[in-house]
Structure 1
């Protein structure tokens, strides 16, 4: 069983609540637009981090993290890409990958809109954790926590950050 803390679109904004809410997590995943190498390194000092770069990330972050991160954890095939769209409207840059070999879990960011939706066509869960930073049009900052156990997902929680 693995407990995941998931965030996206921090745009370099640090909030100590990231650590507070991810205390019981085994790993922290960042779905891009990290915005600052210092931010992602601070998260990595706290927990194991998996991340992708986003469209606002500079070369320092792009050298450290891939555009697409696909891995297996606790029996689940996971794919993370910052610009990915959502069920019924996947971004063209990832459509072929998703349709040829869909993961069990597809995570994207970019839209700043929290969305958790199961894609019945691809038999795949999609999560966009919204935006945890303060840059952008979103009115509520959000993150997500969930559990992976033998390839199944449970205990999904949406965390709203004040301010």
Structure 2
């Protein structure tokens, strides 16, 4: 299952991001969405699961979007949450994949038997951080993450 992981769009969905996620089976948005149109555009490509970020909390259209989601991705117990600081409160013992956003800093790191994945920010550039998203090939026995740089 090819999964696109995007975060921190803050209302900006770049054409480069849309190109990068074509052909994905699922899209996960790790918060700070910015506008409902982002989710509408993404859902034209593949089914979307999303969580609210700290910048979405006061937006009326985001009231029904959860703060975290526990998912099963092709047999991989997964936690989707915006801020890594909130992970301990929602982490189940069997969780193998933790997807976060918030920091705008991409991260792909195995910690023991868990993959921590932050796709970085696909929205406006912040400081000198890269503009990125992640693609994740989810197979029954492996997770193969790839960071995609959207701007040079």
- Normalised TM-score (structure 1): 0.85
Could you tell me how far apart the structure 1 residues matched to 2:17 and 2:146 are?
14
State how 1:143-154 maps to structure 2 within 5 Å: 143-154=133-144
Residues 23-45 of structure 1, C-alpha deviations (whole Å, 9 max, x = no match): 12111111000001111111112
Q: Which residue of 1 aligns with 2:61?
A: 60
Structure 1 runs not aligned, ≥5 long? 85-90
Q: Which residue of 1 aligns with 2:106?
A: 114
Could you tell me how far apart the structure 2 residues matched to 1:59 and 1:101 are?
33
Could you tell me how far apart the structure 1 residues matched to 2:126 and 2:55 are?
12
Residues 76-120 of structure 1, C-alpha deviations (whole Å, 9 max, x = no match): 111110011xxxxxx1x331432x524110000000000111111
Number of aligned positions between the proteins: 150
Retained in 2: the 8 A contact 1:113–1:138? Answer: no
Could you tell me how far apart the structure 2 residues matched to 1:149 and 1:139 are?
30
Could you tell me how far apart the structure 2 residues matched to 1:151 and 1:77 are?
13
Structure 1 runs of 4+ aligned residues shifted over 4 Å read: none
**How far off its partner does 1:138 sit?**
4.3
Q: Which residue of 1 aligns with 2:88?
A: 95
- Normalised TM-score (structure 2): 0.91
Retained in 2: the 8 A contact 1:77–1:104? Answer: yes
Structure 2 runs not aligned, ≥5 long? none
**Could you say what secondary structure the match of 1:33 adopts?**
coil
Retained in 1: the 8 A contact 2:17–2:150? Answer: no
Retained in 2: the 8 A contact 1:109–1:129? Answer: yes
